[in-house]
Structure 1
Amino acid sequence: MDIVIKVLSTLVAIEFLFIMYLETLATSSDRTSKTFNFTKKELSSDKIKLLMKNQGIYNGLIGLVILYAAFISDNGQELLIINMIYIVLVALYGAYSSSNISIFFKQGTLALITLLILVFS
């Protein structure tokens, strides 16, 4: 697999592992509040904490699957394409459902670039 694809994929994985950190370990931090546009009071709610931690596990697993695909799997390129499509679609949905286009650019741009390089290389 091309070094550029491995580097970009690793950056996408790090992004999702960072999101997992925010959602599971730093749930009510200033950074999480700013990133997800919630007040610290909202983030201190037990129900919101539970939802954030659950979502964080999903994001962490996405990051781990990307690393597995990039460095271990015999079908890495195929797995990366599937994951990058998934990330782009989720970012589009997030931007649409929240009426906040910046979500797409924050979460989907690097995955979209990686996807385009994967498809056209």
Structure 2
Amino acid sequence: MNLLIIALSTLVALEFFFIMYLETFATKSSRTAKTFSMSKDDLANEKINTLLKNQGIYNGLIGVGIFYLLIFTQNYNGGLLAIMFYIILVALYGAFSSGNKAIFFKQGSLAVIVAVLLLIQMMM
């Protein structure tokens, strides 16, 4: 089960690095517009562009935190569980605040699976 947790946690980290890429480096791309249901005109707005870039850094740091725990700590379960709960809460907030429930499934599904696996492993 430990290997499965590591593999899925790595996928979560990579997902957040991809989100960072869209928000920070490909801010004005058609892929970013489609992903976030925004128009290219919205993305051309400098204020929105700055907000997305800032948010992208936060998302990238979530990925860094996951990799840090997996690589540099021996007992990563508690820290990893905290990050997964954070991701789940953020995904829930995003889904309900935007009215787009798909956000939760896109952003939070893997985190839910990892959290459940971690809780099972911690109870054993």
How does the TM-score come out when normalised to structure 1? 0.97
Q: What code does the residue aligned with 2:81 have?
A: I
Residue 53 of structure 1 deviates from its aligned partner by: 0.3
Identity %, equivalent residues: 56
Root-mean-square deviation (Å): 1.0
Cα deviation, 1:52-110, whole Å, max 9, x if unaligned, reads 00000000000000011122113311110000000000000111101110000000000
CA distance in 2, matches of 1:74, 1:23: 32
CA distance in 2, matches of 1:93, 1:85: 12
CA distance in 1, matches of 2:65, 2:73: 10
CA distance in 2, matches of 1:3, 1:76: 13
CA distance in 1, matches of 2:26, 2:41: 14
Aligned structure 1 segments of 4 or more residues deviating by more than 3 angstroms: none
Secondary structure class of the residue paired with 1:47: helix
Which residue does the alignment assign to 1:68? 68
Secondary structure class of the residue paired with 1:105: helix
Which ranges of structure 1 fall in alignment gaps of 5 or more residues? none
Q: Between Structure 1 and Structure 2, how many residues are aligned?
A: 121
User: In the alignment, is residue 115 of structure 1 matched against residue 115 of structure 2?
Assistant: yes
Which residue does the alignment assign to 1:51? 51
CA distance in 1, matches of 2:120, 2:25: 38
